[in-house]
Amino acid sequence: MIRLTQTVQKGGCAAKVAASELRKILNQVRFPPLDKNVLVDGAGFDDASIYKINEDLALVQTLDFFTPIVDTPELFGKIAAANAISDIYAMGGDPKTAMAILAFPMATMDTSIAVEVLQGASDIMKEAGVSFVGGHSIDDDTLKFGLSVTGFVNPKKVWSNAQAQPGDVLILTKPLGTGTLTAGLKRQVFSENEIVQATASMSQLNRIIDLIPESMAEAIHSATDITGFGLLGHGLQMAKASGVSLQFSHSSLPVFTHVWKSLQDGLLTKAHRTNANYVENVSMISDRLDWQKQILFDPQTSGGLLLSVSPKNADELLERLQPRFSFSRIIGKVKTETNFLLEVTE
């Protein structure tokens, strides 16, 4: 049996181009002018684009793909699908259709693996109420899979990463640590059974809109999902886009089982280093051991939503989230912009 993680150098969202390098690349591209109906594009590193159709309807569009992060093909398909669909949820949208991106090594893998990957993704799309409408495949040296997803949102009710307000409370809906745990899986320190808590979370849809009444949805001022750039990397993008600073409590961060031991043992990815470099000049972190700080840079795959919420609604929202997202926690607050856009306290 092929162990998918052994066929690639890096997997999941840890395979992302480093945020600082991506910004350098994009800064050199002469992009075409935007249509006046484009409400959100890629400039603020938001989760998805928003294109206004009329006063009450807009398209939400995203694309995400990566190399295997787990060994089981069906599980890989589930995680990749949940991760891609998450970007629609992070904008407050309702996903409707998806198209697959599949790169498959025909010479080295049996096509039954492709079937299992697609079946896992199909099962997640069924759960999300998303129609699987097609896609594109190529014969490649390594397996890569993901989705381009389209959904709808009311343009007046978009959760972008640019609307966090001073005084807001920060809520995270899933634990941290998928980066170090899957690094351990690739190095055969862990089996999939030993990190099932994390793989189940990565396969879980980030659908929260059905848990809360419309009045409370408006209390969510800003949102983003935590993926390859880690908590502080995606937090920095929210802080910059919103013109605020974010304060996190290290002791309040939810983590998966085995994560602290995994970090202490040095089970890291390249993304841990590049994510730390990305926020180095704009963050102030309280005195912690180096391995304890790594959770702040851990590259998440299909991680949780980071929500910036009105303080008067935060406790009730948390109560509504926890039956489905049992590790949901208040992990910090939004402050007026300071010299350090990110602060991590005890």
Active site residues: 13
Q: Are 65 and 104 in contact (CB under 8 A)?
A: no
Helix orientation angle between 178-186 and 270-279, rounded to the nearest 10 degrees:
150
Nearest CA among 194, 236, 211 for reference residue 321: 211
**Whole-angstrom distance, CA of residue 186 vs CA of residue 8:** 9
**Whole-angstrom distance, CA of residue 325 vs CA of residue 172:** 10
Q: Are 159 and 117 in contact (CB under 8 A)?
A: no
Per DSSP bridges, beta strands 94-104 and 57-66 are unpaired
Bin 17: left if φ > 0, else alpha if -120 < ψ < 50, else beta.
beta
Q: Hey, CA dihedral for 174, 175, 176, 177, is it positive or negative?
A: negative
Side chain identity at residue 18, one-letter code: A
